[in-house]
Every structure is written in structure tokens, then in C-alpha cells.
């Protein structure tokens, strides 16, 4: 609504000043932008679709190859939509932040599948450097105001009694959650 308000004010001003061609250009550009940002349908879960659509655009902007495998994901009975959105956002934010530091072969691979009655979520990403762990064997950061996303992921998994696992091999970080 905020952006729409500014668009309408701009177009209105252009028309009032007899700049019809410029007004039409603004409308066309905005129409194209809306088409580019239209949410994709990856599964039957609207939260997952919205999050994946958003982070697909972010990866594209940052030249990060995003590989998605989504299968048989519906609504979650015992998990709040807002908490699922926060979980997915934290996972993607962390993966993109780490991948963004890589100079070549930047990729994030996201898998969310129903396998043998269990929902498995896995996110893999390239990274450079080393990863530090806290006393509970969870990734952590020494930087102030960093690592909060990881703490949120851990808290979510504990609250919902989910299995959380990390793996690092050859500059590939993998986070897996079994629902």
C-alpha cells in the first residue's frame, strides 16, 4: 500500500502537469515490476510459497544459483504460520549471507519434502572461512548482533520437538530439520 500510494501520487502529478507519456512509462514499469514479483506456486502451503518467492528474487539479484526441490508440503497442523515463516526466513537469510561471501559457484539448495511420513527440510549453501560452534554444538558468531537467526532456529526446533542437524563438508554447509 505504501508503494502504491507513492506510485499514484507520481502518476497523478505527471498527468496534472500534462506529462502523459511519462505517466504511462511509470505505469508500464510498475506493471512489469508487479509481474516480476508475482509469487510462484511451489506447493500447497501459502507461507512456503511466499517465502520461496521472496528469496528466489533475492538469490537472483545476488547472482546466487537457487535449486529448489519441494514435494508434498501442505499446511502444518501444530506449527503456527508465523513461526514457520520466521524459521524459513532465518534459514534463507543465513544461507544467503554466507553464500554472498563466495566468489564463484554461489548456490543455495533448498529441499522441503514429505518422505515416509516425515517432512524433511534441508538447506545447503556454499561458504568460505570457518564456522564456530557454541557449547551445544550449534553454529554461533563472535560478532555482536549476529547469530540471532541461528538461535531462533534452535529455539523453534526445541519448542516443536524437531530434529535439527548441521553438516559441513568441503565448504558446503547443510542444515537439516525433520518435522
For the segment 79-84, the average pLDDT, to the nearest whole number, is 84
Best CA proximity match to 36, nearest among 60, 1, 20: 60
C-alpha 4: how far from chain center: 24
CB 120 within 8 A of CB 179: yes
Instruction: Judge if pTM exceeds 0.75.
Output: no
CB atoms closer than 10 angstroms to residue 105: 9
For residues 166 and 177, give the distance between their C-alpha atoms in angstroms, rounded to a whole number.
9
pLDDT tens for each residue of 14-73: 888 898 888 888 787 766 655 555 567 778 778 888 889 999 989 999 999 999 999 877
Q: Is the pLDDT confidence value at 109 over 90?
A: yes
Best CA proximity match to 176, nearest among 108, 131, 122, 139: 122
Amino acid at each position: 500500500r505504501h508503494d502504491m500510494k507513492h506510485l499514484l501520487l507520481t502518476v497523478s502529478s505527471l498527468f496534472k502537469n500534462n506529462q502523459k507519456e511519462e505517466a504511462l512509462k511509470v505505469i508500464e514499469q510498475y506493471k512489469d515490476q508487479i509481474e516480476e514479483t508475482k509469487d510462484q506456486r511451489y506447493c500447497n502451503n501459502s507461507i512456503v510459497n511466499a517465502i520461496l518467492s521472496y528469496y528466489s528474487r533475492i538469490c537472483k539479484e545476488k547472482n546466487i544459483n537457487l535449486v529448489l526441490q519441494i514435494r508434498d508440503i501442505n499446511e502444518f497442523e501444530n506449527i503456527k504460520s508465523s513461526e514457520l515463516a520466521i524459521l524459513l526466513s532465518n534459514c534463507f537469510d543465513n544461507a544467503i549471507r554466507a553464500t554472498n561471501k563466495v566468489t564463484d559457484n554461489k548456490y543455495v539448495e533448498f529441499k522441503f519434502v514429505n518422505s515416509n511420513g516425515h517432512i524433511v527440510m534441508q538447506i545447503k549453501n556454499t561458504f568460505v572461512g570457518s564456522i564456530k560452534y557454541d557449547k551445544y554444538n550449534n553454529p554461533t558468531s563472535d560478532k555482536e548482533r549476529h547469530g540471532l537467526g541461528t538461535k531462533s532456529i534452535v529455539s523453534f526446533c526445541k519448542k516443536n520437538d524437531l530434529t535439527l542437524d548441521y553438516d559441513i563438508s568441503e565448504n558446503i554447509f547443510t542444515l537439516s530439520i525433520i518435522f
